[in-house]
Chain A
Amino acid sequence: MARYLAHQLTQMVIAIFGISVIVFVITRVIGDPTSVLLPLDTPLEQREEFRRQMGFDRPILVQYVDFLGEAIRGDFGTSFRVKKPALSLVLERIPATLLLTASATVLAILIAIPMGILSAYKRHSLVDNLATVFVVAGQAMPIYWLGLMLIILFGVQLKWLPPSGYGEFGLDRLKHLVLPTVVLGVFLAPVAERLVRSGMLDALTQDYVRTARAKGLSERVVLVRHALRNAIIPVITVLGLQFGQLLGGAVITETVFAWPGIGQLTVDSIRNADFPVTQAAVITIAVMISVVNTLVDVIVGIIDPRIRF
C-alpha cells in the first residue's frame, strides 16, 4: 500500500508539474502580459522598461523556475483586476464548485442506479430502450443550451425558480442550486447509467447470483445486495477518474448560471486576460483533480479486498 501510494503521489506531482508548464507556456510565452497591463498606446521604450521591471525580459526558463518556486509557496501574484492575491480569489470559489459538483453527482447516481439496474434486468424492454434514448440524447446534448432552456422555462416563463446566481445561504441557495444541478446531472448521468448497466449485466451472469437465487432470496435482495454491490465498484472508480470531466461540465454550467465557482472565475479571468488568476485557478483545478483521483484509487483499494497493490 505504501509503495502504491508513493507511486500515486509521484504521478500526481508529474501531472501538476505538466499542467503548470502548459499554463505557463499559454500565458507567458504565447500570450504577452504587458499587452494587458499597459495601455494600448504605450510607446515601445516604456514597454521595454516595464518588461525589464517585471522580469519578463529574462530567459524563459529562468522565468518558469521563478514562477514555479513562487507557485509552490502559494504565491501566484496579484490579480490584475482586483488587487487581491490570485490564490485567495481562487480558494474562496471552491465551496460553490464543490456544492454544485456534489449535488450533481448525487442526482446522477439517483438517476443512474435505478435506471441501470432496471435496464440490465429487463434487457431490450421498454425501460431499457427508454434508458438508451436518455443516454444517447444526454451525450449529444449541448448542456449550455439545456441550461438556457431551463432558465427560460422555469425562471422566465413559469417563474418557479431563480434563473441564475448563488442566492443567500439557506433555502434561497437551494432554490438557486436546482437548475445547475439538473444540467450538470444530465451531463454526468449517461456515463454513470451505462457503467451501472454493464456492471449489472456482468454481475447477473456470475455464480454467486445463481447461488443467491437458488437459496430462495427475493429478486430484490439478489439485485441490490449481491449484484449491485459488486457492480458499483467500477462505477465509483470511473466516476472518480471522471472528476476532471465533471469539472469541465461545471465550467460550462457555472458560466451559464453565473454560479460563482472556480470554473466561472477561470473563464472570467481568461476573458479578462487576468493571467495570475488563470494560472492559480488552472493549477488549483489540477491539484483538485489529482487529489480526487488518488483518493478514489485508495478508497476502492479499501472497499475491494481483491485489489492489492
Chain B
Amino acid sequence: MATAEPRERVQAQVSLAELPVWLARRRTLRDWLRAAWKLRLSVLGGLVLLLLLVVAVAAPLLTPYTPSEGRIVDRLQPPVGLGGSWKHPLGTDGVGRDYATRLMYGARVALAVGVLSTAVATAIGVCLGILAGFYGGKVDWLISTLVNIMMTFPFILLALAVIAVLGPSFTNVVLVLGIGSWPIYARVVRVEVSRIKALEFVAAARVIGLTDWRIIGRHIVPNLVNAIIVIATVQIARLIITEAFLSYLGLGVQPPTPSWGYMLFESQAFMFNPAEWWLPMLPGLAIFVTTLAINLVGDGLRDVLDPYQRSSL
C-alpha cells in the first residue's frame, strides 16, 4: 500500500540568518554526523566542488606543464591505463599538450563564467522582479510580458546570435549568459514580493513612514535571499553547460584560454579514430561532474533553506 503523505527527507526550514544558529545547535559530533548523513549527497557534491575549486585556483602549482604549450612529438599519448605513462596521466591532445593540465585550467573558465554570469542574471532579475512585484500596474505588465517571452523562447539561439555579432570573448559570454537568464529570478521574486507586500509588517512599516526603498531594502529583500540562493545554485550549473556549448561551437571563451567546451570541439577531429575516444570523453566528463556536484549542493540547500520550493522549480 502506498503511503503518500507530503513528507520530504529534511523538514526544517531555516532562513539564512538562522543558519548559523541551526548549525550551532548541532553541538555534538554525533549531531553533526547525523545532519551530514541526511544531506550526504549534497555533502559529497560540496566536497567535489571544493576539490574543483582548489584545482582551478592552484592549477599552476599542481602541474609542471602549461595549458597552451605542447611538444608535437608527444602528441596523442594515451592516458594511464590505456597504455600511457605517468608523465602525462591523462594523455596529450592533438598538438602534444598535457590533457590533465588543460582540464585543470579549464575548470577556471567554467567556474568563473558560471558564477559571474549568474551574478549578472541575479542582479538584473532581482531588481526587475522587485519593481514588478512592488509597484504592479504597467511596470509589472511590461516586465512580466518580457519574462514570458524570454522564458518560452529557447534562449540559446539569441545568445548565439548576440555573441556571433559582438564577437566571442570572456566578457561577452558572461554578459550574454547573464542577460539571457535573468527572467527566472524576476518571475520568482515578483511573486514573493507581491506576497510579502501584502503582509502586515510591511503595512506597519508604511504607517511609521518608511520610504519605499527602505521597506524594500530592510523588509523585503532579506526575505528573498533563500529563494534566490536556491535558484542561483542550479543556474550556475546550467550556465556552465551553456557556456561549454558556446565554446563547442567556437563562440565561447577563445583559445589560447583552455575551456572544456573548446576542448570538446577540438577533440571532434579525432572522434572517428577508434583509439582516441577518450579525447572527447574527458572534457565532457569534467563538465558533467561539475554540474552534478553543483546540482547536488543545490538540492541540499533547497532542503535546508526552502523545502516548499521543491516542486516549483
Contact = CB atoms under 8 A, between A and B. Distances in A.
B67 interface: no
A244 B153 contact: yes
Contacts of B149: 14-15, 18-19, 22
B300 to A, nearest CB: 12
A151 interface: yes
Interface in B77-135: none
Contact of B287 (A120, A145, A286, A289): A145
A248 B152 CA distance: 10
Give the interface size bracket for A toward B.
35 or more
Chain B binding surface, main DSSP class: helix
Contact of B161 (A26, A123, A144): A26
A266 B146 CA distance: 22
Chain A binding surface, main DSSP class: helix
A289 B148 CA distance: 12
Given A121-B2, A271-B249, A144 B264 contact: yes
A24 to B, nearest CB: 11
Interface stretch (A47-55, A103-111, A133-141, A171-179): A133-141
A293 interface: yes
A19 B311 contact: no
B288 A136 contact: no
A278 B4 CA distance: 49
B257 to A, nearest CB: 19
A198 B311 contact: yes
Contacts of B198: none
A14 B161 CA distance: 21
A163 B274 CA distance: 13
A228 interface: no
Contacts of A290: 152
B237 A205 contact: no
Interface stretch (B26-34, B49-57, B162-170): B162-170
Interface string B228-267: 0000000001000100110011110000000000001000
B241 to A, nearest CB: 5
A7 to B, nearest CB: 13
A122 interface: yes
Which of B161, B237, B268, B311 has most chain A Cβ within 10 Å?
B161
Given A22-B158, A205-B4, A289 B153 contact: yes
B2 A122 contact: yes
Given A144-B245, A252-B245, A139 B5 contact: no
Contacts of B288: 140-142, 145
A141 B268 CA distance: 18
Contact of B156 (A201, A248, A293): A248
Interface string A223-252: 000000000000000000100110110011
B157 A26 contact: no
A282 B284 CA distance: 29
A26 B287 contact: no
A140 B237 contact: yes
A267 interface: yes
Interface in B153-200: 153-158, 160-162, 164-166
A131 interface: no
A182 to B, nearest CB: 16
Contacts of A157: 274, 277
B153 A19 contact: yes
Contacts of B268: 148
A198 B313 CA distance: 13
Contacts of A152: 271, 277, 280-281
B157 A148 contact: no
Given A18-B146, A142-B291, A144-B248, A273 B299 contact: no
A30 B147 CA distance: 22
A99 interface: no
Given A14-B145, A30-B165, A248-B156, A137 B271 contact: no
Contacts of A121: 2
Contact of B154 (A22, A140, A248): A248
Contact of B162 (A30, A271, A293): A30
Contacts of B155: 248
A5 interface: no
Contacts of A140: 237, 288, 291-292, 294-295
A30 B164 contact: no
A79 interface: no
A72 B162 CA distance: 24
Interface string A248-264: 10011001000000010
Contacts of B158: 22-23, 26, 282
A151 B271 contact: yes
Contact of A148 (B2, B161, B284): B284
Nearest to A16: B149
Contacts of A202: 4
B213 interface: no
Given A11-B148, A27-B165, 11 more contacts: A23-B158, A136-B296, A142-B291, A148-B268, A149-B280, A152-B277, A244-B152, A244-B153, A248-B155, A271-B249, A271-B250
22 contacts: A14-B145, A15-B148, A22-B149, A27-B161, A140-B237, A140-B295, A142-B244, A144-B245, A148-B280, A148-B284, A156-B271, A194-B311, A201-B4, A201-B6, A204-B2, A244-B151, A244-B153, A248-B156, A267-B160, A267-B249, A270-B164, A285-B157
Interface of B: 2-6, 145-146, 148-149, 151-158, 160-162, 164-166, 237, 241, 244-245, 248-251, 264, 268, 271-272, 274, 277, 280-281, 283-285, 287-288, 291-292, 294-296, 299, 311
